[in-house]
Amino acid sequence: MPVGGYKLLPIVHEVASATVDGVELTADWNRQFETRVIEDYDSSPLFDLAALSEAESIEWCYGCGRCVPVCPVDLVGEYGPRKVHRKLQMGIDLLEDPDLWLCTTCGNCLRVCPKQVDMIKIMPAAREAAMTAGKEVPAELQGVLEATFKYGNALGQSPRRRSAWTKGAGVPVRDLTKEPGPVDYLFYVEDYWSYHPRGHQAAQAFARILHQLGIDYGILGHEERTLGDSQRLAGEKGLFEMLMEQVVETLDRHEFGAIVTPDPHGFNALATVYPKYGHTFEVLHYTQLLAPRVSELTFTTPLDVKVTFHDPCYLGRHNGEYDAPRRLLEAIPGLELIEMMRCRENGYCCGGGGGGMWLDGHTQSHTSERLSVRRVKEAAETGADVLAVCCPYEVSRFEDGAKAAGVDDRLRVLDIAELLDMALGGPDRVAGA
Ligand code: SF4
Ligand code: SF4
């Protein structure tokens, strides 16, 4: 019974009394003990959080610690579900704590948690409660939420510029607002392929691949709005629902067989969240559209590169797709695929999910290293020449990370669509098309 100078005393709930070392412990004594504990720690923040819709599982944590080694934020700081639970138990109000904004909703803790403590539901609920209560929201995130509300995209760009990327594609891209009519696939470009300069390059590469495959598709041009999943996870459920209404109203005006998108966050919204509101569409991530048809592509340029691949959390862990991106990479002549130590189900988060894309400053001031920098170092350790990605958030995140890690001279960051396009001969093959 003695452990390190202390005695473990039984909690007497079910029996009238127990005897330890000749001392009788009664149910009364136990009640006094519990009263003292409650007086030492005011755990009301834990109970208040658990009372929020969808956040009840925060109470289920029993401190086993399995989430500790898999949480990407814990690896660069002091975080993780067990620590959040402990702080709440000790009376720290999460709604006013910097921890509120650190979770990327990557889902790796949920994968291993025996109690199914679901941070993907808990953190958005807590963030929403903080916003509703007028608590401080990091300015960088606040700016993005306001831009999304005003312009329908996270980058605060004009909807008129949505299809600007098509000019450099070298192939025709049908804008359904100008050329209406049914298509097999609606290419939902989403924000970072629509507006970010590096996203433009990937979008143009993808258009050239679709062209070679003869796929019938169109885009929504200025009618497209972000699907808003990261804004939802950052706590702005109201904004998400407003966007969803606009998106559904637009989609209902067009005829298409399925939606294809490069953005795992948008894919997640359409595949798992819209149906909960009664809106069901067939949706594919772009790698899922291309993988079954990769044998139809005519590769002309072997790449002779070693490539490692980063699994996007919202394609892999959240939606179970690990193989389609790898099938595409393995089909490229001359390409050698090397896996990182953390891959597939245990892939390390880039830090961009759950609103993390717009919280880098906040995260940096509460951790020792950005998640994207750590991930790029893991990629460089494999000896790869290229870090391949298939999420529009990741090219710019990892390019910045590669510079910060000092490996940008030996590790390029490329979307899988860009790698495929290079092996197909790149823009030159379609010049004049
Ligand atoms: S794995 Fe689940 S139960 Fe275990 S410490 Fe983490 S959150 Fe708590
Ligand atoms: S969802 Fe990911 S970042 Fe959030 S607590 Fe779990 S493991 Fe950590």
Residue, of 293 and 427, whose pLDDT is higher: 293
Confidence tier at 214 by pLDDT (50, 70, 90): very high
Q: By C-alpha distance, which of 259, 262, 261 is closest to 250?
A: 259
Confidence tier at 7 by pLDDT (50, 70, 90): very low
Write the pLDDT tens digit of every residue in 248-300: 999 999 999 999 999 999 999 999 999 999 999 999 999 999 999 999 999 99
Residue 305: strand pairing partners: 335
Closest ligand, as measured to the CA of 314? 2
What's the pLDDT score for residue 26? 62
The mean predicted confidence, pLDDT, of the chain is: 92
**Cβ contact 307:329 at 8 Å:** yes
Q: Which CATH number fits domain 296-431: 3.40.50.11810, 3.90.1300.10, 3.40.50.620, 3.20.20.70?
A: 3.40.50.11810
Domain boundaries, the chain: 2-40, 44-132, 153-292, 296-431
Q: Are strands 17-20 and 23-26 parallel, antiparallel or unpaired?
A: antiparallel
Write the pLDDT tens digit of every residue in 353-384: 999 999 999 999 999 999 999 999 999 999 99
- Ligand 2 test: best mutation among 94, 97, 113, 119, most atoms within 8 Å of CB? 119
Q: Which two tokens stand for residue 342?
A: 């953390």
User: How many C-alpha atoms does 313 have within 13 Å on its Cβ side?
Assistant: 23
**CB neighbours of 188 closer than 8 A, spacing ≥ 6?**
219, 220, 224, 227, 259, 260, 261, 263, 266, 270
Judged on CB neighbours under 10 Å (0-12, 13-18, 19+), 89 is middle
What's the pLDDT score for residue 28? 60
Q: Which atom of ligand 2 is nearest to the CA of 123?
A: 4
Q: Where are the alpha helices (DSSP H) in 298-428?
A: 323-331, 360-364, 371-381, 394-405, 416-423
Q: Which atom of ligand 1 is nearest to the CA of 62?
A: 3
CA distance 161 to 413: 25
Write the pLDDT tens digit of every residue in 70-103: 999 999 999 999 999 999 999 999 999 999 999 9
Residue 320 has pLDDT above 70, yes or no: yes
Write the pLDDT tens digit of every residue in 118-161: 999 999 999 999 999 999 999 999 999 999 999 999 999 999 99
**Cβ contact 395:414 at 8 Å:** yes
Q: Which atom of ligand 2 is nearest to the CA of 71?
A: 7
Q: How far is the CA of 230 from the centre of ligand 1 (A)?
A: 24
Does ligand 2 have an atom closer than 6 angstroms to the CB of 71?
A: yes
CA distances 278 to 228, 248, 253, 258, 275, Å, are 17, 11, 17, 17, 5
The strand ranges marked E within 200-282 are 217-218, 256-261
Residue 432 has pLDDT above 60, yes or no: no
- The number of residues making up the chain comes to 433
**Nearest residue (CA) to ligand 2, atom 5:** 80
The percent of residues above 70 in pLDDT, for the chain, comes to 89
Confidence tier at 193 by pLDDT (50, 70, 90): very high
Q: Which two tokens stand for residue 260?
A: 């294809």
Whose tokens are 């990937």? That residue is 202
Write the pLDDT tens digit of every residue in 9-29: 444 444 455 665 666 666 565
Tell me the whole-structure pTM to 2 decimals: 0.89
Q: Which atom of ligand 1 is nearest to the CA of 60?
A: 3
Domain 44-132: CATH class, spelled out: mainly alpha
**Cβ contact 355:162 at 8 Å:** no
